Every structure is written in structure tokens, then in C-alpha cells.
Structure 1
Amino acid sequence: MGDTDPKANKRAERQVVVLFAISVLATIGFLIAYFALPPGETADSMLRSNLALGLGLALSLLGIGLAAVHWAKALMNDHEKSEDRHQLRSSDKDREAAVEVLKEGAADSAIGRRGVLQGAMISALALFPLAIVVPIVGNAGGEWNVGAFRHTFWRKGRKLMTDPSNRPIKAADVTIGSVFHVIPEGINESENPLNEKAKAVVLLVRLDPADLKEAEDRKGWSYDGIVAYSKICTHVGCPVALYEQQTHHLLCPCHQSTFDVADGAKVVFGPAKRPLPQLPITVDDEGYLIAQSDFTEPIGPSYWERLK
């Protein structure tokens, strides 16, 4: 044990210093990755950036946590102490005794005599907040125009294309109970395809027309039982893609919000507060499914400037 064996004590101290040093290096690595590996516009660049930032943050916290645990277990004594319960406010004598216990604990940690250990701990704890502050400051001037979610890449006449194969869809090929993941025609050639796709993704489902419950103002938004809804959950924006054919329910895997596709994608369970926005669709002269317009309401989670 470190509290009885001087050699073991010194070895444990070095191990704690190494753990704090790992945290320091991981925080520095996080900061380097933040500036050197911006997310970019491609999935690969986002993957590299998120992986580097995640590893840096994880190792930084892990180093501090393991160092604190190892310090307490290996460098401080393991003598059991107990005291009787008293009234909520201790007497002045007990309060003075508590202060003495705290002083004893500080002395037991020997932080005042371990200069290298003290420096490693202070460095790790001082640097780690930068992993939180720097991204916040860096994003302070970012694009916060929530109005951008009021419009997507969908336009009147744009074909519904399968995702990811990017093939147009004929209404005759959509059987009852089938599900298609859909993107707008031409989105891959847009200026920011990744951003546009994140807003425009749609789930296409065909039901028996007799099962559909359509509001009067939306009776022309479907085609022969085929309906299209935004895949972006109205809770926090997770992809809604788990369809249960027998109940016509659509489930968000993140927080279990459940929507009834047969009844305007209304919420039947979970934390979401509004239905999934519906994409009005029809067919062109060749029988291909096309959009009648963009969504008529903002997609995604509710936010402070969203129009009702």
C-alpha cells in the first residue's frame, strides 16, 4: 500500500502524474483538432473532426478522473472512520473537529510536499475548461438563422428520388406497406448537398387509402394512399425511420416519439409536441412521384422563432 510502503508510494505518485499528463496532452490535442480539422462539408471530414474531438475530450476527462481515483486509493490511507449521527447543525465543537478532519485529509494527501503532482493536477484542471470554452467562443459568430429551416430543397415538380441510390420512383412501384427513404431530385448537385439533405430527407409510405385519415385541407397532398413526411423528428431532430406496418406507427429511436402515419403523422406517444411536416406529392405525366411544393411549415424541432 502507498501509505505504508515508500517505494509503492513514489510509484503511485508517478502514475498519478502520468494520468494528469495524459489529460493535459489530450486537452491540447482537442484544441489542435478543433482548429486543424474543421467539420467541412463532407461526411468524411465531419467523421474525422468528430472522432478527433471526441477522443481528445474523452481522454482529457478520463485522465483527470483516473488520476483522482488512483490518488485517493494509492496515496491516501485506507483507515476506516465512523461517527455517530447528530442533529442537523453540529455544535461548534463538532464543526471545529470537522475542520480538523479536512486539514488532516489535506495533510494526508501530501499535496503540499508533492510539487510535480501538484503541478500536473493544476495543469490538467486549468487546461480542461478550454475544451469547453474554445468551441463555444469559436461558434459565437456562426450562422444562427433559424429561419433557414422554413425552407428546404423541395420545389414544385421535383421528383422524389430514392436515397442513396438516387433513382426516381414510380407510383406503380410503391406497394402497400412499403417504405422508401427519399431525397429531392438534383440535391446532390446543390451548393451544400450535405446541409440540404439534412433538411430535405423524407419517408415515403403507401397505405390502403381506406386507412388514411386526411384533414380537408390536405386531401390532395397524398396520391392513391402514398404519403410523404419529413424524417426529422419534431422533438430534437433525430431521424424517424422505424415503421410498423400493422399500426401505421412511425418511431423515433432516440426518445421514442411515435407518430401515426395514417392520421397526419400526429404524435401518439413520446416527448414530440407536433406532427411531422407532410410533403404534398402527386405524379407527373410519366407516373413518377413529384413534389407539389416545399413543406408548408418548418421541418425539425420546434424553436423560439418558429411560425405556428
Structure 2
Amino acid sequence: MSNHSTELETRGELDPAPSPERFENPGLPPHRPRLSDTSPEGSKRAERQVAIIFGISILATIAGVWGYFAFPMDAGVGNVRYSTLSIGLGLGIGMLGIGIAAVHWAKALMSDVEVVDQRHPQRGDDATRAAAVADLQAGAKDSGIARRPLLKGALITAVAIAPLSFLVPFVGNLGGSWNVNAMRHTMWRKGTRLATDPDGRLIRPEMVTIGSVWHVIPDGLHEVDDVLAEKAKAIVLLVRLAPEDLKILPGREDWSYDGIVAYSKVCTHVGCPVALYEQQTHHLLCPCHQSTFDVADGAKVVFGPAKRALPQLPIMVDDEGYLAARDDFDEAVGPSTWERQRPIRGEDY
């Protein structure tokens, strides 16, 4: 074909080649029987494989529930990690096992003969509806669920206990009181000096310049038994602002020192470390979900999903010229929960 003809055809000025009015229906390809269709041994092998996968799902769910009770979350930060890991793995493997077993059951044991279902009005006549019900019953019979008690029992057990991975942690936490939660108290006490994280150097006010950010831990942290648990609660971010930029909240007149303020580093949304400081706006950003806190105004929330300001650590300068805490945080650090009650400083709980 010449270039001119090709150009005309491209622009639609030549009639396309005529198409046949209908194509011959090639029909369905011939059915290829599977090993489980022709061999009783192959069928039994596939049945055992499905039952084993269901069994793995059951064991995973049980292990997840066991992990919840074996690692109580109020016993320390380390337990939170193991409890979450066991519940997550139990839930994930349990649900994955049900899905894989169901797919393998369908592909290896249920009928794989292709059928054609002609289109029809939305409601057929009574004879057609009765035929459909008969087809469904035949399909259920063909699936072999009635004559495969092992698979039926494994399926029912796996599906029945799978929700435990959701329900046990939920029900176990109902009615829990924040008053007994370990996050209510930290290592900070009156006179506890502020030290740099991780080397533990004591901090003098003149070392903290305007706009600088210091990651702080309590002095003596490395001498406690559970360093990781205590550090997770007591980590602090120390910032110095120009005194005229700092808004002093009522009741907190002596909580800062010459523009130096200290706030909990644990985000009040889900507990991620808040560590990104923007010097010009005085904003602290949580990298996990972008909750943003205004350091110049009591670390109140200015953006993001967090609903509560970062707890402030009241600070002072001790007799030897080092920055020290005036007291513990006035409220529990960490994420907000529905049962949280704001504590009163000095309350015995």
C-alpha cells in the first residue's frame, strides 16, 4: 500500500475492510482433569494439605492470644513490643492460612468444570429459580463439604477462633484504669538533672543557645534496672527560645528558665518520638503522622491528629548551675486514651 493510501486510511477517508457479521463461537476448551479428579490418593493428599493449612491458621490464632496474656502491656515497654508482635503475627498468619486453605480447597477439590450461564431477566420464572437452587445444592454437594468431615471441622474451627485475635485484646482492655498504667510516672523528680542523650553529659543553661534542640534523659538513667522502659517514658526535648517569643501559660510561670523549655518527646497521638524542630515557627513535628506542636505556646497542637499538647517538664537551675527538673510531668506522657484522666500533681496513685 502506498504512503498516500496509508495516510488516507489513518484519517478515515478510506473505508475499512469489511467485518463479518458474526464470529464463530469457539466454545469452551476441553476439560483437563486434575490429579485429585482421577486419583483417590491425590484427592486425599489435597484434603490433608488443606487441613494442615487450616491447622496452621488455628495454631497461629492460639499463639497470638497466648502472646497477649504472656506479655501484659502494663509490665513494661519491652512487653508492649512482644505482645504487639505476637498478636500481629497470630492475626496475620491466622487469616492468611484461612485464605490460602480456601483457595487450595477450591482449586484442588471443588469442581473446575467451566459452565456458561446465559443472561436472563433479573427475576426468572419459578422453574428457573428452582433450577438455580438445585444448581447451588449440587455445587455444595460437589464441593465435598458433607463427605469431608476433616475439612469441614478444620474450616469451622479456623473461622470460629480467628476473631479471637481481634476480640481478646479489645475485651481484655475494657474497664482498664489509666491510674495503674506505668506511664503515669517517670524517673523525673525534683532535683533530677538533665543530661544529654545518649552520652549523659550534664547541661548548663549557657550551653543551650537560642534555636538549638537538645535530646535529654534523666541523669542516672543508665543505673536503673529497665533502662529501655524508663527511657521510653522520660525522653525530653529541650529548646531555647528568645524570652519574648515564649508564651507563659497560667500556673507555669516558673516551669522554664530564661527561654529554655522542656517537653515530653513522646507524641500524644500514638507515641512516636517528636524530634523535628522548625526554628523559625517554633514548631515540633512528629514524623509518623505529622502532628505539629507549638513550642512557644505550651506545645499545643496546631496541626495533625494529636488532640493533646505535649506534657511539659518543669525545669530550674540547681545550686551547682545545672539544669534540673522541678518535678515529674504534671500528667501522664504518651498517647491519649478514652479512659485517661488528667492527674493532679502530688496525687497518690
Q: Deviations over 1:187-242 (max 9, x none)?
A: 45457655544433221122333432333543432223321111232334333223
Aligned twin of 2:347:
none
SS at match of 2:56: helix
Percent identity, aligned pairs only, is: 59
Distance 1:36 1:269 in 2: 38
Contact 2:257–2:315 (8 Å) recurs in 1? yes
Structure 1 position 253, deviation (Å): 3.0
Contact 1:33–1:52 (8 Å) recurs in 2? yes
Q: 1:48 and 1:171, CA in 2 relative to 1: closer, same or farther beyond 3 A?
A: same
Gaps (5+ residues) in structure 1? none
Q: Which moved more, 1:253-262 or 1:193-202?
A: 193-202
- Residues 1:287 and 2:287 are matched in the alignment: no
TM-score computed with the length of structure 2 as normaliser: 0.69
Distance 2:225 2:63 in 1: 32
Contact 2:177–2:339 (8 Å) recurs in 1? no
- Residues 1:19 and 2:53 are matched in the alignment: yes
Distance 2:137 2:325 in 1: 72
Distance 1:85 1:180 in 2: 73
- Residues 1:306 and 2:334 are matched in the alignment: no
Structure 1 position 291, deviation (Å): 1.2
Distance 2:234 2:142 in 1: 61
- Residues 1:272 and 2:300 are matched in the alignment: no
SS at match of 1:246: coil
Q: 1:156 and 1:51, CA in 2 relative to 1: closer, same or farther beyond 3 A?
A: same
Aligned twin of 2:35:
7
Q: Which moved more, 1:48-57 or 1:37-46?
A: 37-46
Aligned twin of 1:244:
278
Q: 1:265 and 1:98, CA in 2 relative to 1: closer, same or farther beyond 3 A?
A: farther
Q: 1:295 and 1:24, CA in 2 relative to 1: closer, same or farther beyond 3 A?
A: closer
Structure 1 position 180, deviation (Å): 2.3
SS at match of 2:214: strand
Aligned twin of 1:107:
141
Aligned twin of 1:175:
209
Structure 1 position 80, deviation (Å): 5.9
Aligned twin of 1:211:
245
Q: Could you say which structure has the greater relative contact order, defined with CA pairs below 8 angstroms and 6 or more residues apart?
A: 1
Contact 2:178–2:340 (8 Å) recurs in 1? no
Q: Give the letter aligned to residue 259 of structure 2.
A: G
Distance 1:136 1:179 in 2: 39
**CA RMSD for the aligned pairs?**
3.8
Larger Rg: 2
Q: Which moved more, 1:260-269 or 1:36-45?
A: 36-45
Superposed counterparts of 1:1-308, under 5 Å:
4-8=32-36, 10=43, 12-30=46-64, 33=67, 47=81, 50-74=84-108, 75-77=110-112, 79=115, 81=117, 83=119, 86=122, 93=126, 99-100=133-134, 102-132=136-166, 144-145=178-179, 151-189=185-223, 194-215=228-249, 217-300=251-334, 301=336, 303-307=338-342
Aligned residues: 304
Distance 2:300 2:184 in 1: 20
Distance 2:181 2:54 in 1: 45
Contact 1:178–1:205 (8 Å) recurs in 2? yes
Structure 1 position 249, deviation (Å): 1.6
Q: Which moved more, 1:181-190 or 1:141-150?
A: 141-150
Distance 1:38 1:149 in 2: 14
Contact 2:77–2:229 (8 Å) recurs in 1? no
Q: 1:99 and 1:297, CA in 2 relative to 1: closer, same or farther beyond 3 A?
A: same
Distance 2:271 2:292 in 1: 13
Gaps (5+ residues) in structure 2? 1-28, 38-42, 344-349
Q: 1:287 and 1:91, CA in 2 relative to 1: closer, same or farther beyond 3 A?
A: farther
Structure 1 position 16, deviation (Å): 2.5
Q: 1:79 and 1:122, CA in 2 relative to 1: closer, same or farther beyond 3 A?
A: same
Distance 1:97 1:294 in 2: 75
Contact 2:195–2:219 (8 Å) recurs in 1? yes
